[in-house]
Amino acid sequence: MLSQLPEQADPLRLCEQGKDFAGRVALRDFARLAPLLTSSEGEAAFTLGFDKDGEGRARIRGHVEAVLWLVCQRCMQPMRYPVNTDFLLSPVQGLGEAESLPPEFDPLLLEERSLHPVDLVEDELILAIPPAPLHPASECGLDVAAYSAPDDEDVAGSEKENPFAVLQQMKRDSD
């Protein structure tokens, strides 16, 4: 059953209760995320499901979708960055407990008993922002081949020649 997302809640209690939430939040209402965006137009759609897994471990299953506007670090122009991500958290009290989680879980370190559940959605959006956002090569305002540094080739999906292809060609030529 879907409930209204509370402003503040004890996540362990929500897991006990097996609460599910879904909603939309205007991006401009995310105080930490909004300054990272070139435009805070638009909204994020989320679901948050609190329950326990088969081993009685508190579990938060979430999904968030949004279109973020970032700045391309090559041409410094706005770029549209769709985010569509699932996450799986388990509330933990300390690092020891965090380390004992199965690998599919990300720890949610509880500093206090209660938190703002909507912060979980904002955290995921912030985590989804790449350290150096770049347009795909075909959409960038700058000529990728001329401007890309060797170490951003992977990120940019550059069309530079693959060194292995060159090696293969040389091998073929020498046959």
CB of 71 to Zn ion, least distance (A): 9
> Parallel, antiparallel, or unpaired for β 43-52 and 58-71?
antiparallel
Contact call for residues 70 and 133 (beta carbons, < 8 A): yes
* 74 near Zn ion, rule: CB under 5 A: yes
* 70 near Zn ion, rule: CB under 5 A: no
Tokens of 15: 């897991």
* 156 near Zn ion, rule: CB under 5 A: no
Of 126, 133, 13, nearest to 79 by C-alpha is 133
Binding-site string for Zn ion from residue 98 to residue 137, where x marks contact by CB under 5 A and - marks none: -------------------------------------x--
CB of 102 to Zn ion, least distance (A): 39
Q: Angle at Cα 124 formed by Cα 102 and Cα 158, nearest 5°?
A: 100
In this chain, which residue has its C-beta nearest to Zn ion?
72
Of 48, 87, 40, nearest to 68 by C-alpha is 40
> Parallel, antiparallel, or unpaired for β 106-109 and 78-92?
parallel
CB of 74 to Zn ion, least distance (A): 5
Our CB check for Zn ion shows the closer of 18 and 141 to be: 141
* 72 near Zn ion, rule: CB under 5 A: yes
Helix (H) or strand (E) holding 64: strand 58-71
* 140 near Zn ion, rule: CB under 5 A: yes
Q: Which residues bind Zn ion (CB under 5 A)?
A: 72, 74-75, 135, 140
